[in-house]
Every structure is written in structure tokens, then in C-alpha cells.
Amino acid sequence: MDLNSLLAYESPGITIFGFKIYAYALIIVFGMLAAFFVISILFKRRNMSTDLFLTFFCICLPIAILTTRLFYCITSGMPIADWLNFNSIREGGLSIIGGILGGAASVAAVCIIKKVNFFRVGDCVVVGLLLAQAIGRWANFANQEVYGGLVENEALHFFPVSVYINTTDGGSCLQTFTLTFAKIFGFETDITGGTWHYAFFLYESVVTFSMAIVLFINAWKNPKKPNGVNTAMYFITYGLVRSIMEPLRDPSFILGSKVPWSMVTSILLLLAGVALLVVLLVLNKKKEGVYVGSVNGDPYGISDFIGDDKKEIAYFNDVNMMCSIYPENYTQKPMEEKSEGFFAKIFGKKDDSSTAEETQKTEKTDGKAEENEEKTKSAEAEK
């Protein structure tokens, strides 16, 4: 790892064996890993198996990444030959909206095949998606994109209110911090060639992260019907934030030359989220007697355990909230074999577990022998 490369001008990153990995890619990958962890634990929390989550992950993530790229390429007018070109991909070009559309379609397809409630899965997925987007906006900071209009008031020329955009040969996103520290501590710098803009990437990251926390708490604490509230709130949040931000962004970052596709899609997602939330609550009221929960039957929307296949056993665990509500529906996991059991099989030695089993058998046999002996003595005494 080369520290000079990490702090280099233009696109920051790290160089490993002569190959530079840009900060943009590193941040995106970190966001994916964070989403992976959050979604996997919410699956378990909401009475779905880890195996089922891995099925969704392995199928839906590649499709979402592909559609994230394709949506950008199509709406930006990029030549088809450059869509999946390696050098073109390294230069950037992704659209979250494309990922949402492709991800939602692939999740729906897997739900149909696996016969799983789409909204039950979606309520977990959207939390991780919001977290990944909040982290991913810092990738935009590394690439000096997703910023607002020019900040003319010099008193506001500091981070986090504004961000320094310098796309010249000597420019770097890290100059934002250098100039901010210079302003705070009163020292001079020789950095020139850039301008200060409103830090839209940060505003959106903060709002998105805050909503991720709210929806995570709802998913973690609330097992009641109807499923889909988190999913609807995601579309409302994303659509509202993007609808406000898009018109204020630098025009060069608005997808579409004649039609502002990112703006149009954001508004449609907002309207779809509002409509979905209303429909879910009204239908639950009609069927269950109340908007949230039920007065006619089971109030919980996650009572049934869902595994990757019908034969998968629902084991009791401390994360799954239904285990504390209906513990009788879950099987206690057997004691796992100790590590020496593996070596015992190889070297022919008995492990503790087998020894314990033999001891129990011996104790039972001895007990029966003693019992038979006592019966014999009693019979002889009676005679």
C-alpha cells in the first residue's frame, strides 16, 4: 500500500502491486458489506433463515449492480461499446435508480419462485439499501460529484456546509479538508483552481443514514402486520430526497439530455411509495380490523418461519423475535461437537461427546443391573 497514492491528487485511492484501487470503489464495496450484515441479521430477526438470505443475495446483488450500470449508460447516452468496457467502468458511472429497479425486479422474481411475501423480504432489504446509499454518497465525494450550486458567501466556505470542487490537474477531494482546517486555524495555503459548492452529497448521506436507523428500529422492534411499511417508507424517503436535490444539482450530473430521467423517476418513486403505504394500511384495516396489527386473529406478520426450502428446521435463537413470542414453535439446537471430535474421526480417538454417550449408556446398564438384582433379592426374601 502506497501512502502517497492514498493522498494523491485527482482520484484518491490505494495502489497494490502497481494497480490502483480508487477510493470510489473501496467505499462502494464497504457500503455493500455493511448492507450484507444488516440485511442478514434482520432476516434472522424477522423469522427468516440465513440460507434464504444468501439465496437472495447471490441472485439479486449481481443483477442490481448490472442494472445500476445499464441505467446510467442508457440515460446518459453512452455508446453501447463503452457500457461494459473495463476502462469506462473504472472512470465511473452508476445510477442508484437503476439498482433499485433491477434489485426490486429480481427480489420479486425470487419471491415468486420461493413463494415468499415480497414485502416481508423488502422490509429487511431496504434498511441495508439505505445504509449502502448513505455510505456510497461518500464515494461521490471522492469523485467530486453530486454537489450543489456555487457558494458565493466566503463565510460559508468550509466543510460540512460546502465542499471544494477542483477538477483541474492539481485538484483533489481532499483539498476540502485542507482548506477547512486552514480557515479554522488561520493558516495560508497555495491551493487554487477550484470553487466552493453546497455539499449535497453530505446532506443526502445524513438524511439517508438517519432514515436507515429509523427503519432498522421499526424492523427490529415491530413484528405486527402489515408487511411492507418499511418498503413504502424507503420509496417515499428516496423519492422525496432526490426530487428536492435533483433540480439543485450541477446540470452535468442530471441523467438525461432531453428528459431529466433521474428527476422523473424520483417523483414516480415518491408517488409509488405514498400509494403503497396507503393501500397497505387500508387493506390491513379491511381484513384485520385495524391499520396495524389485528383484532381478528394473529396480529403478527412474521409468525410463520420461512427457510430456503420446506425441509429447513426452525431452530430457537436469541435474535429471532418470534422465538420469545412463540418459543414452543422452535426446536432447540443440539449441542455442537467439540473441535477434537474432528481429529478423533481421523486418528481413531474417542472425543468427549462419544465418551459422554458411552458413560450414559454404561450408567443406564448398571442401573438396570442393580434394579434387577434388588428385585431378585426381594423375591428370595418373600419365599
Q: Residues 284-320: pLDDT tens digits?
A: 999 999 999 999 899 999 999 999 998 899 999 999 9
Cell numbers given for 305: 418461519
**Over the stretch 33-83, which tens digit does the pLDDT of each residue have?**
999 999 999 999 999 999 999 999 999 999 999 998 888 888 777 788 778
Mean pLDDT score across all residues of the chain: 83
Q: How far from 58 is each of 64, 65, 232, 307, CA to CA, in Å?
A: 11, 12, 24, 16
Instruction: Give yes or no for residue 367 having a pLDDT over 80.
Output: no
Q: Which residues pair with 290 in a beta bridge?
A: none
Type of residue numbered 315 = Y
- Residue 306's pLDDT is what? 95
Domain ranges of the chain: 3-145+218-288, 340-382
- Residue 7's pLDDT is what? 37
What would the mean pLDDT of 129-144 be, rounded to a whole number? Answer: 93
Instruction: Give yes or no for residue 228 having a pLDDT over 70.
Output: yes
- Residue 253's pLDDT is what? 57
- Residue 265's pLDDT is what? 85
Q: pTM (2 decimals)?
A: 0.80
What would the mean pLDDT of 325-352 be, rounded to a whole number? Answer: 62
ω before 160 within 30° of 0 (cis)? yes
Q: Which residue has the cell 446532506?
A: 203
Measured in Å, how far apart are the chain's first and last C-alpha atoms?
Answer: 92
Who has greater pLDDT, 220 or 191? Answer: 220
| Lowest mean pLDDT, pick from 124-128, 164-168, 200-204, 371-375 | 371-375
**Over the stretch 88-105, which tens digit does the pLDDT of each residue have?**
776 667 778 888 889 999
Other residues' Cβ atoms within 10 Å of the Cβ of residue 241: 19
Provide the pLDDT confidence category of residue 381 given band limits of 50, 70 and 90.
low
335: number of CA atoms within 13 Å, CB side? 9
Local structure of residue 336 (DSSP, 8 states): P
Separate counts of helices (H) and strands (E) for the chain: 13, 4
Distance CA 88, CA 75 (A): 16
Classify residue 196 as exposed, middle or buried by CB count within 10 Å of its CB (0-12, 13-18, 19+).
buried
Of all residues in the chain, the percent with pLDDT exceeding 70 is 80
